Structure 1
Amino acid sequence: MDSNALRRVLVPLALAQFICSFAGSNMNVMINDISRDLDTTVQGVQLAITIFLLVMAALMIPGGKLTDRYGRKRCLTAGLAVYGLGAVLSAFAPGLPVLIVGNSILEGVGTALLIPPVYILATMLFTGVTSRARAFGVINGMAGIGAATGPLIGGLITTMLSWRVAFLFQALVVVVIFVLSRRYVRDPRPPDPSRPFDIRGAVLSSAGLVLIVSGVLAADNNVWLMLGLLVAGALTLVWFFHSVRAKERAGVEPLLSTELFRSRTSNLGLVTQNVQWLVLMGISFVVSAYLQVVRGYNAIETGLILTAATAGVLLASLSAERLARRHAQRSLVLTGFAVTIGGIALFLALLALSQQAWTFLPGLFLIGLGIGAMLTPSVNVVQSSFPDALQGEISGLSRSVSNLGSSLGAAIAGTILVAGITRTPERSYALALVVLAVIALGGMVAAAFLPRAAQSQAR
């Protein structure tokens, strides 16, 4: 494909990632409006958000595997159709059960079907470190923008129109993606309907991830329940890997090849991906809650302040190709973590000096800049570590790891905030940010062990 054709392909892929990231964050500012309109509780709406996270995380690995059997473009199209149906159903939901079916179930399933093809197609179509960095830069930039602008756009639509219009907005974007993908996206390799699908592996992996994420989300309610769910999830995943090894020894193709875990470079890249999304979503949660609960800002004001982080993510993502030509992937990830930690420190320092709104902006911008700088090289390192034959599996695994990080970030931050460890709310929010900075430091240590020049194996 020529450069113009590749640029046209990139538009629907990036938009698909944008709308899924947007869906993961925009409902946070609609909770009160939805609960009043549907005559339910805030906890009921939070349950819908939680189920969405569970469905998405649990089905991402099976979703990636299905692309090998049914084709990347076909899975992308199916995911868009399911997601769009869920968005429309959510917009006209008469009550919480229908909202859960539309937003939590259908949009969650749709996301799990359409996101793996986005990264698989980008890996297959864009060859070479710099061109692939450009593609992943645009896609991950839209991911960061979707997550960061979700509260702002959702707040604007909810305040000016209705929360229902926000779901219609999602459906409209899905229609645009569908039209563009039908016109420009071509599957570079035909599907193989004869490839087996490991149903037992899909059930075990999904159940294990559901239990793990449920345990993390239960951390602020019941410690023993959290531990029980985490242990059950870990044991289920051990059973899953035992099943995978047994199938490989028998010469049967499993859901997830153990070859994916034999690459030290990929394993370290997955760790950095998890930490990046953990820190990004954790900071977004902490700062949003602080601005609304402590400072009393409304949804629009909170979203406007968070655009500083969005600007940082966008600037770094747009520079991904140029940075990839000049610097090793390892250096970019290390620098990204360092800038993010510096941004957190600057945020806390300025917060202690002044109560004015502008003091939030420099630190948030640096945080966005650091996160944006390392999102692309981390994905590039992981996806480029394997040939085309394993792209379906590694894409699903990569997205599951990232989604798990997002869930961990919100859960860890939320646990610290409600635990009442400190005497004042301000110190609790500061403590949450310090913990996230320490976790980011751990990601930086993992990045230090990445090879200085990771070679692409995708063919």
Structure 2
Amino acid sequence: MAEQTRAGRFPAELRRALIPFALAQFICSFAGSNMNVMINDISEDLDTTVAGVQLAITIFLLVMAALMIPGGKLTDRIGRKRSLSAGLLVYAVGALLSAAAPGLGLLILGNSILEGIGTAMLIPPVYILTTLLFTEMTSRAKAFGLISALGGVGAATGPLIGGFITTVISWRAAFVFQAAVVLLIAVLSRRWVHDPLPPDPSRPTDPGGAVLSALGLVLFVSGILAADDNGWVMLGLMVAGAAVLAWFFASMRAKERAGRPVLLSTTLFRNRMSNLGMLTQCAQWLMLMGTSFVVSAYLQVERGYNAIETGVVFTATTAGLLLSSLAAERFARRRAQRTLILAGFLVTVAGVVLLLSLVLASESVWAFAPGLFVIGFGLGGMLTPSVNVVQSAFGEDLQGEISGLSRSVSNLGSALGGAVAGTILVAGIGTQPGTAYTLAMLAVAVTGAIGLVAAWFLPRAPEPAPV
């Protein structure tokens, strides 16, 4: 069966499969940002602080990042579709538990832990199945574009939809909304998604590697979160995390030489285009989630805005991201992926500068709109090319691993966005107005500059897959 008709559309079978895939990426990205507008509501209802809500958000993103690689490997043993269904079930349980949480501890269990585990189980099969079902390079790039665009839209609309639900009903209803969407995805995927490859229960695993990779990431990000409490604790945790990650990579090489099963093939790190592409992904999601948390917290804590007012401000980001995402296919026909990623970082950094300049110069809420729109436009234009660069760098035999690694890096960027920019902001809340906000957004801009440098060194032509 041809993957595309003469009109350039996918066959009906593939179009139907794309719907639950895109919705899955949408709701997981939505979950990472919608709590940002509930900071005051959750803090008051659960008798906690802004730092407590930031901790819950960051743990959710960190659990996703830490478990995404093992989640990608799990799909080979139990099957892609079965992993997707199991992840949706765990996610739904976590969302409903969060909706009923009487305190911060249960909210962290439901939202941060269970939803994080569910996401790590359901997202890798989405990207693996897309790779397996869309075998032609052009159609695969288009499918990845739609899925990643919905992910960006989910992150951008999280504050708006979450703010509306929180104001009209309750912050708890936002988690019920997530559970309802997940149920819809489960029904659609059961009917419309098929796994072209049988599961392989005998596929070897590497539990030791999974523990080391997860522990290293948790220690490193925990060090960033401890920055405002104790500098030595921060340094110690970050050094420990880096040491554990170095141990992880060394053990992967040793196991490969001995012919033992490994969590990640070191082949994945020999492709310069893929490595730089993942670095750009990390930077993009750090900028998106960092901006979302910082602006949301600033509006609610410093300016006293409620959830819906804060969400409406982010309409500008959503509009910019939607506009560039819808035009992504047209851009891709005219420009190389490297060019699109470079342009995206330039536009996004310019948006951060514009946001800072206008907000510090004016007390009007409208001062946020131009900068947020430009940030959204820049991010929307480069999310898809970065995914294409990474995912298409390897053959089908490594799709399980590269999908997990790619999603892990993206979610690590999201976690770092909440941890780095959020920690700077939270540490400065209550001091001189605007100072903490400025420093936090400058950290986002520096990340954009790092992403720009990485994009500049992307090869102009795809590299052959390493052997």
The TM-score range, normalised by the shorter chain, is: over 0.9
Q: Name the counterpart of 2:131.
A: 123
Per the normalisation by structure 2, the TM-score is 0.92
Residue 162 of structure 1 pairs with residue 173 of structure 2: no
Write the mapping of 1:131-146 to structure 2, written as runs, cut at 5 A.
131-146=139-154
Q: Name the counterpart of 1:188.
A: 196
Structure 2 counterpart of 1:297, which letter?
Answer: Y
Residue 408 of structure 1 pairs with residue 395 of structure 2: no
- For residue 171 of structure 1, the aligned residue among 156, 162, 179 is 179
Structure 2 counterpart of 1:189, which letter?
Answer: L
1:354 and 1:33 map into 2 onto residues whose CA distance is 27
Deviation, structure 1 residue 417? 2.8
8 Å CA contact 1:134–1:320 kept in 2: the answer is: no
Write the mapping of 1:48-87 to structure 2, written as runs, cut at 5 A.
48-87=56-95
8 Å CA contact 1:16–1:177 kept in 2: the answer is: yes
Residue 291 of structure 1 pairs with residue 296 of structure 2: no
1:247 and 1:432 map into 2 onto residues whose CA distance is 41
Stretch deviating more after TM superposition (218-227 or 291-300): 291-300
- For residue 209 of structure 2, the aligned residue among 201, 223, 243 is 201
- For residue 375 of structure 1, the aligned residue among 355, 373, 383 is 383
2:431 and 2:174 map into 1 onto residues whose CA distance is 38
Deviation, structure 1 residue 21? 1.1
1:385 and 1:50 map into 2 onto residues whose CA distance is 30
Q: Deviations over 1:30-68 (max 9, x none)?
A: 344334444555555444334323322211110011112
1:246 and 1:214 map into 2 onto residues whose CA distance is 28
1:449 and 1:221 map into 2 onto residues whose CA distance is 37
Structure 2 counterpart of 1:313, which letter?
Answer: L
Stretch deviating more after TM superposition (289-298 or 217-226): 289-298
8 Å CA contact 1:59–1:206 kept in 2: the answer is: yes
Could you say what secondary structure the match of 1:451 adopts? coil
8 Å CA contact 1:384–1:456 kept in 2: the answer is: no
Q: Deviations over 1:142-197 (max 9, x none)?
A: 21221122222222212211222111111110111001111111112222221101
Stretch deviating more after TM superposition (267-276 or 115-124): 115-124
1:422 and 1:449 map into 2 onto residues whose CA distance is 41
Q: 1:290 to 1:96 in 2, by over 3 A?
A: closer
Q: 1:356 to 1:168 in 2, by over 3 A?
A: same
- Stretches of structure 1 that go unaligned for 5 or more consecutive residues are none
Matched pairs, number: 458
Deviation, structure 1 residue 344? 1.8
Residue 26 of structure 1 pairs with residue 31 of structure 2: no
8 Å CA contact 1:54–1:214 kept in 2: the answer is: no
1:423 and 1:59 map into 2 onto residues whose CA distance is 37
Q: Deviations over 1:219-238 (max 9, x none)?
A: 22221111111111111112
Q: Name the counterpart of 2:17.
A: 9
Q: 1:448 to 1:40 in 2, by over 3 A?
A: closer
Q: Name the counterpart of 1:325.
A: 333
Deviation, structure 1 residue 134? 2.1
- For residue 455 of structure 2, the aligned residue among 447, 454, 458 is 447
Q: Name the counterpart of 2:368.
A: 360
Deviation, structure 1 residue 415? 3.5
Per the normalisation by structure 1, the TM-score is 0.94
1:42 and 1:450 map into 2 onto residues whose CA distance is 39
Q: 1:228 to 1:361 in 2, by over 3 A?
A: same
- For residue 310 of structure 2, the aligned residue among 302, 312, 317 is 302
Stretch deviating more after TM superposition (170-179 or 236-245): 236-245
Write the mapping of 1:245-260 to structure 2, written as runs, cut at 5 A.
245-260=253-268
Q: Name the counterpart of 2:251.
A: 243
8 Å CA contact 2:224–2:423 kept in 1: the answer is: no
